[in-house]
Chains A and B, each alone.
Chain A
Amino acid sequence: MPTIDLAESGLRSLNKQLHDVGEGSNETHWDIINPRGAHAVAVGVNAAIAITIHGSTGYYCAGMNREARIVVQGSVGPGAAENMMSGSVTVMGDASQYAGATGQGGLLVIQGNASSRCGISMKGIDIVVRGNIGHMAAFMGQAGHLVVCGDAGDALGDSVYEAKLFVRGSVKSLGADCIEKPLRAEHLAVLEKLLGQAGITDVKPSEFKRYGSARKLYNFSVDHADAYG
């Protein structure tokens, strides 16, 4: 179980070692200590390994992750797990803006709160936020699920495509073309599964409301011009 002290080894050495993990490697558990807010920690990993980061990180932690299961024992800066393809990223603290941006797959769990633009342009990623999220969450979200156990800020789901949004608390306002939709059995099943994967057991799927696209902006119509700004 390798332990990398980022204060001593440096970012380049860390990411190089993670990129060099070969298929079938016995080094399946990695610990990273002293991240001290460093940017681009554990980015571009493409291996089914477990990585625990002991501390808080800066921008783009776990960016473009493939297959790895990454846990941050702290908070993360902007763009955590951006463009994740698969695997999982769990943030035990809070996440700054753009968490899970453009993610195409995998699971991002934020046990604290997430700032603005969480899930912006999401393309298939599943995001579960234990706390609250800021404004413009899931802006232009194309696919995937955003589950918010707390409250959502302004302009939730602005210009959303087919991403499915679930909020348990209040929504300050909905963005352009985003509406509340019925919570059907299949959505309850999705919520149960995602909450279970996130390890959240004290919240019931039935307590959520579902939001998604009204699909009025899918093809341009002058009668909807106001919604385009």
Chain B
Amino acid sequence: MSYTNPPTVPRKSATFDDYTLSEIRRAATTGIYDIRGGGAKRRLPHFDDLLFLGASMSRYPLEGYRERCDTDVVLGNRFAQKPLHLKIPITIAGMSFGSLSAHAKEALGRGATAAGTSTTTGDGGMSTEERGQSQTLVYQYLPSRYGMNPADLLKADAIEIVVGQGAKPGGGGMLMGQKITDRVAAMRMLPKGIDQRSACRHPDWTGPDDLEIKILELREITDWQTPIYIKVGGARPYYDVALAVKAGADVVVVDGMQGGTAATQEVFIENVGMPTLACIRPAVQALQDLGMHRKVQLIVSGGIRNGADVAKALALGADAVSIGTAALVALGDNDPAYESDYNALGTTAGAYDDWHEGRDPAGITTQDPELMKRLDPVLAGRRLANYLKVMTLEAQTIARACGKSHVHNLEPEDLCALTVEAAAMARVPLAGTNWIPGQNF
């Protein structure tokens, strides 16, 4: 009997997987790091790893559709004389005119207004379309101060001082030259066609002691009318939130690493920051330790997709959530209807993230006049409003099942975790146990 040497099946490295190999080849060819939009794509502990327990013998549920479950939220009543009162606890995150088309900004304003919530400007100032269509508009105050002027500041319903964002805590921004059109250049006071860099630190304050004085200035300029938010990327949420409260914030926004960006280095997006799920409880703990929970409101963002995510974030102690990527998808981003266009760009619907290149087939992350025409701001705004209403109904459904007459009455005790990691991060028991890793041994 003769034996042949049986071949093994070709085996690829788990460490050097196909994506990693392609990135090495890309870097070797171009000499530049990979830039893309969106948030972290790697698998992370997330809201999917939590479950609601629902009512039974020990909890009394509310009747769906008949018994009230309120969803409104007041934001900014610590110091501001005109706090926001939103119908739903889901807001639209800051995204710039420049990274987004004017139609997209208009659609966000239309959708948010129809749903009774706020939308937010971004790096590049306040566009007329956005202010015109947004009943409640939050004005971002960013390190670059592109387009920043006191006239717009006084038109804002709230001011959000951006210290950082989840996709890139500690990083600045960039808008590639392809998207710096005449209008964008004029608003930012930059030459047309250059790569616009945004600083990672504010130009005129350093640290929380300075920020407290900066906030005093902003309050004086706005005659103490306007709520002031501080937005931080999810990095050290306990200390960042505590310092934001100390600096005088009315509202703190904590953005986890699934939160999107218009353009940042892939290595930054995937390797800096903390998952949203891991940020909430330390942030809430900071507020509770200072006696400021529900007095300084907490908005959580980064990977919020549906009403269950909303309900879970609120149950963990947030007052509201904010959506960016999901809102763009509701407008039409990455829609399979444009599959052939995505294929022509070397990608596929659902994976397109080269938002910085300005060639978005859906007409959202572009300044190309022809592509922009693809997005009908009225229809897209309607789609966003529908989506926001569905998310709200979903959150209400869950809250009623937990016996809550307001979504803010959801609490950690309504949750369990499917994984040890999620249990530790969310500080809720592993399902079927009373074990909260790191809390009780």
Contacts and interface: CB of A to CB of B under 8 A. Distances in A.
Interface size class of A (residues with CB under 8 A): 35 or more
A66 interface: yes
A64 to B, nearest CB: 4
Interface stretch (B202-210, B247-255, B266-274): B202-210
Interface in B194-218: 194-195, 197, 199, 203-205, 210, 213-214, 216-217
Interface stretch (A11-19, A148-156, A165-173): A11-19
Contacts of B203: 82, 98, 101-102, 117, 120-121, 139
- Which DSSP category, helix, strand, loop or mixed, fits chain B's interface? loop
Interface in B215-242: 216-217, 220-224
Contacts of B213: 39-40, 58-60
A63 B30 CA distance: 44
B81 to A, nearest CB: 12
Contacts of B350: none
A66 B221 CA distance: 12
A159 interface: yes
A64 B221 contact: yes
Contacts of B149: 64, 83, 85, 104
10 contacts: A19-B223, A43-B220, A59-B217, A64-B150, A64-B153, A64-B221, A78-B204, A120-B203, A142-B188, A219-B194
B300 to A, nearest CB: 30
Given A43-B221, A60-B213, 14 more contacts: A16-B223, A40-B213, A44-B220, A59-B213, A64-B149, A64-B150, A79-B205, A83-B145, A83-B150, A85-B150, A117-B203, A121-B144, A123-B145, A161-B191
Interface of B: 30-32, 144-145, 148-150, 153, 177, 188-191, 193-195, 197, 199, 203-205, 210, 213-214, 216-217, 220-224
Nearest to B199: A140
A159 B193 CA distance: 16
Contact of B220 (A40, A79, A83): A40
Contacts of B205: 78-79, 98
